[in-house]
Structure 1
Amino acid sequence: MTIGRDHMMRAVSVADIAPTPYAWQIRAAGLKVRVGRKRMAVDGLDLSLGTGVHGLLGPNGAGKTTLIRALATVLRPTEGTLELLGEPVGGRGEHRALRRRIGYLPQEFGYYKRFTVREFVEYMAWLKEVPKADIPAAVQRAVERVGLADRADERMKALSGGMVRRVGIAQAIVNDPTILLLDEPTVGLDPAQRLRFRELLQELGMDTCVLVSTHLVEDVAAACTDVVLFAQGRLVFQGTPEGLAAAGGPEHVGDSPLERGYSALLQGPVKHGGSW
């Protein structure tokens, strides 16, 4: 997975340089999202996220995937408010224009095995309504950024699990999204690929709001400017990796300061919003 400087410049439109009408790319207030008939997987979330790389941490069953699916407009809010790029999300709207500006890699990534890498990423670019004339360059740029330029014409069924995951990242960034949502993106990547993926995250976070759900605390330490700790559908902590590390001590479980801070905060009472 080789990540270097971009070889192609993206055309800048008037919309790219116009002032944004919103303060935060993602803003939730009292957000609740129900899964099934009874379980409130996201339960009263207050959260504001802007440009940068935000790590979403939490134990299994915390509600991380449900939150990301709501942010991707796959699930509708049950209560509260959710705004993406200044637009309210909810009701019966299709949010078609909004989805063109979102990149999303779900935890369970489906694909067509008979497609080549290039064909699949082209298909996803078409679904995201990337202008037809721009698709070839956008696809080439995306596969280069995830280090798959030399595999672009191989069929998906011939790829390893880690390579398939990298194709998933490529399709998520092919439309140059303003909001990028990645649910466990490093699953299947080897240690060297994870290091290079962190470099890509840092590059993307320069002008994009990136939210990365992960179980790997070290990925957060290396790539994220902000940490969101989630448990039982509620916000436990939001702050810097350094702030998370400072929350723990030698008496807490973990092999690093970040892991000890993570353990310490999960052992305490859950806060309904804001920073710990």
Structure 2
Amino acid sequence: MRAVSAAETAPTTYGWTVHAEKLVVRAGRHLAVNGLDLTLDTGVHGLLGPNGAGKTTLMRALATVVKPAGGRLSVLGVDIAGRGDLRRMRHDLGYLPQHFGFYPRFTVREFVEYMAWLKEMPKADIPGAVQRAIDRVGLTTRADSRMKTLSGGMLRRAGIAQAIVNDPRVLLLDEPTVGLDPEQRLDFRELLRDIGLDSCVLVSTHLVEDVAAACTDVVLVSDGRLVWQGSTGELAERGGAGDAGDSATERGYSALLRAHRGQVSA
């Protein structure tokens, strides 16, 4: 029997959970992400920006759906732009795209089980993990309902369940609160805070109030580039009485975008 060295059993270390340097990603012929620098670690990070800012394309690149066209991108120490072990990394990844597909005749349980199988989770662990994920998104009583019978908000919660079923170390959620009612959004924020205690969560949304309530960090992008990154408190301090928005956080968001556009046009 071969002896196993300490180096072989030591945990993999890396500087940042997510690290992008001069990242370039195309959406068709368009450079949706163009020279973006970004570092993320454990916590809940809100991804904000106007329509066409490159948020969804960035999420797709982090989820390994699209390959970067330039620059460097690593997730959990794996080089996404090169020849890293993407299959291994995907075991620790959860992703909810803005529009996700499903078999309408699947029940919620079958849908989440199927996604757990695709993520190559150990067979013995799947039933318990599926039930836990369904419970965490508040679909316990609808676990055996067919997907085609669910409301839009319930479908979104089923999508969140499949994203968290493998207890991912990196969780990517693109517009996860679409269709959720106010009470469900409050529950979702609590769920995010819980997951963010030991995972890196990136949430793309247009709802600034969700970011202010659930996120520890804000990433603001525009024109495919990083405009600003900081805490929600720092974001609120950036705005003034003359900036658009109903809250300090929204006014800070508006002020940063206005300043960025002024620099671009100068």
What is the alpha-carbon distance in structure 2 between the residues aligned to residue 228 and residue 93 of structure 1?
A: 26
Alignment match of 1:212 (pick from 203, 206, 209): 203
The CA RMSD over aligned residues, in Å, is: 1.6
Alignment correspondent of 2:172: 181
- Counterpart check, 1:195 vs 2:186: yes
- Counterpart check, 1:73 vs 2:70: no
Cα 1:195–1:18, aligned 2, differ >3 Å: closer, same or farther? farther
Q: Deviations over 1:80-120 (max 9, x none)?
A: 00011111012466711111110000001111110000001
SS at match of 1:108: coil
Map 1:91-170 onto structure 2 (within 5 A): 91=82, 95-170=86-161
Deviation at 1:19, TM superposition (A): 4.2
What number of residue pairs does the alignment pair up?
Answer: 255
What is the alpha-carbon distance in structure 2 between the residues aligned to residue 233 and residue 19 of structure 1?
A: 34
- Does the Cα contact within 8 Å between 2:78 and 2:86 map onto a contact in 1? no
Identity percentage of aligned residues: 69
TM-score by length of 2: 0.93
- Does the Cα contact within 8 Å between 1:56 and 1:211 map onto a contact in 2? yes
Write the letter of the residue equivalent to 2:154. M
Write the letter of the residue equivalent to 1:97. R
Deviation at 1:271, TM superposition (A): 11
Map 1:262-273 onto structure 2 (within 5 A): 262-269=253-260
What is the alpha-carbon distance in structure 2 between the residues aligned to residue 93 and residue 270 of structure 1?
A: 37
Alignment correspondent of 1:63: 54
- Counterpart check, 1:243 vs 2:234: yes
* Structure 2: gaps spanning 5 or more residues: 1-8
What is the alpha-carbon distance in structure 2 between the residues aligned to residue 58 and residue 224 of structure 1?
A: 15
Write the letter of the residue equivalent to 1:201. L
What is the alpha-carbon distance in structure 2 between the residues aligned to residue 31 and residue 270 of structure 1?
A: 21
TM-score by length of 1: 0.89
**Greater fraction of residues in helix:** 2
- Does the Cα contact within 8 Å between 1:244 and 1:258 map onto a contact in 2? yes
- Does the Cα contact within 8 Å between 2:133 and 2:164 map onto a contact in 1? yes
Cα 1:188–1:134, aligned 2, differ >3 Å: closer, same or farther? same
Q: Deviations over 1:175-205 (max 9, x none)?
A: 1101000000000000110010000000000
Alignment correspondent of 2:28: 36
What is the alpha-carbon distance in structure 2 between the residues aligned to residue 248 and residue 63 of structure 1?
A: 23
SS at match of 1:60: coil
- Does the Cα contact within 8 Å between 1:76 and 1:91 map onto a contact in 2? no
Deviation at 1:165, TM superposition (A): 0.3
- Does the Cα contact within 8 Å between 2:74 and 2:81 map onto a contact in 1? no
Alignment correspondent of 1:4: none
Write the letter of the residue equivalent to 2:118. L
